[in-house]
Amino acid sequence: MKTLIAGVLLVLSTGLLATSAAFAAGPKADLEQVKIDLHDQAGLQRGAKYYINYCMGCHSVKFSRYNRVALDLGLTEEQVAENFIFTRAKGEKTKIGDLMTNGMSAEDSERWFGVTPPDLSLVGRSRGGDWIYSFLKAFYVDPARPLGVNNTVFANAGMPHVLWELQGWQEMATKDDGEGGTEKTLTLAQPGSASPEEYDQIITDITNFLVYVGEPARLHRTTIGWWVLLFLSIFAVLAYLLKKEYWKDVH
């Protein structure tokens, strides 16, 4: 019994250690926090729409299928086929059961951006929501860069500011922070068609969608967890009663 308890404690403490190490290596303090809500279905639908319109041209999400997204986001397959699918493969329109790839070849993109835009299926897990959200908010005008923009979260990123029409253009202002360093702030030099609050909502929706895509099973996992716990507690009672019944002649 003692060894069993010691074993359980060991497993638990290793788990805790691993989790704290993951947090330690996680997001840096200067990232803005985003509120991820995977149960906000309307938000996820908007996020998917923005993603398809503004990002899919360069970034595939090739671990997802259109019909899975339709199912998870509460959309009909017709709605998805009509509003989300713009690609063709061998002359035929991409099918609802196909993977969410795009038509950009690695050589072309390398030539245009100097680097191939990565597939973003797992970016919600590798970078995390706060990073994606802060990155989409941190583009600023920088004439020294080939694309005319830079990014405070991802310095010298090879990605253009694709949402400039919505956000507008930010400029970097530097000032002395009084401690020998410089304080950098971004100011909106030229507003876009969305207000800053609307823009924050748009990039929250896109981030929410990318976090969902990174682990679609998460939508259902937590619900299943409760059913498993319920089953185990009922089963424990039955097992106890059975044990009592078996041992009643011995004791």
Q: Which residues bind ligand HEC (CB under 6 A)?
A: 54-55, 57-59, 113, 115, 117-118, 120, 123, 127, 132, 135-136, 157-160, 162-163, 206
Distance CA 157, CA 159 (A): 5
Minimum CB distance to ligand HEC smaller for 66 or for 133: 133
| Minimum CB distance to ligand HEC, residue 12 (Å) | 33
| Residue 129: CB minimum distance to ligand HEC, A | 11
Name the H helices within the chain: 2-24, 41-50, 66-72, 77-84, 106-113, 123-126, 129-137, 164-167, 196-214, 218-247
Residue 68 or 158 having the CB closest to ligand HEC: 158
Instruction: Write down the least CB distance from residue 216 to ligand HEC, Å.
Output: 18
CB of 12 or CB of 155, closer to ligand HEC = 155
User: Of all residues in this chain, which one has the CB nearest to ligand HEC in the complex?
Assistant: 55
Closest approach of Cβ 114 to ligand HEC, in Å? 7
C-alpha distances (whole Å) from 233 to each of 203, 220, 226 are 42, 21, 11
Question: CB-wise, 71 or 164, nearer to ligand HEC?
Answer: 164
Q: Which residues pair with 248 in a beta bridge?
A: none
Q: Between 38 and 160, whose beta carbon lies closer to ligand HEC? A: 160
Q: Are the C-beta atoms of residues 189 and 170 closer than 8 Å to each other?
A: yes
- SS3 category, 188: strand
Least Cβ distance, residue 34 to ligand HEC (angstroms): 12
DSSP states of 233-249: HHHHHHHHHHHHHHHTT
